[in-house]
Amino acid sequence: MAGIKVGAGNFCMGGGMAIAAAGTLAPALRGGGSFHGGRLATDQPTRPHLLAPGIQPDLYIAAAVNDGSLPPEMAARF
C-alpha cells in the first residue's frame, strides 16, 4: 500500500474534526480540509488550530466573508 495518500475533509463542526484528525494522525493522514468550519480557533484546550502546523503537506480552509462561526478575529488566530 505504499504511495497511498489519504486526507480528511468535512463541513461545519466536522471541519474542526478533520483538522484535528489530520494534525493528530500525520503523516499517515496527508492533509485536511474544513468547509465552513466553526470554532476552529477558540480558547478551549482541544482547539483544532493548534494541530494545524503538524498537517503535511496540505490544509485547506474555506469560510464565508460574513461567517458567524469563524469571525475575523478567530480566522486571524487560526
When pLDDT is averaged across residues 16-24 and rounded to a whole number, the result is 87
What is the model's pTM? 0.76
Residue 62 backbone phi and psi in degrees, to 5: -115, 125
The pLDDT, as a whole number, for residue 2 is: 58
Side-chain half-sphere of 27: how many Cα atoms within 13 Å?
5
Under DSSP, is residue 34 helix (H, G, I), strand (E, B) or coil? strand
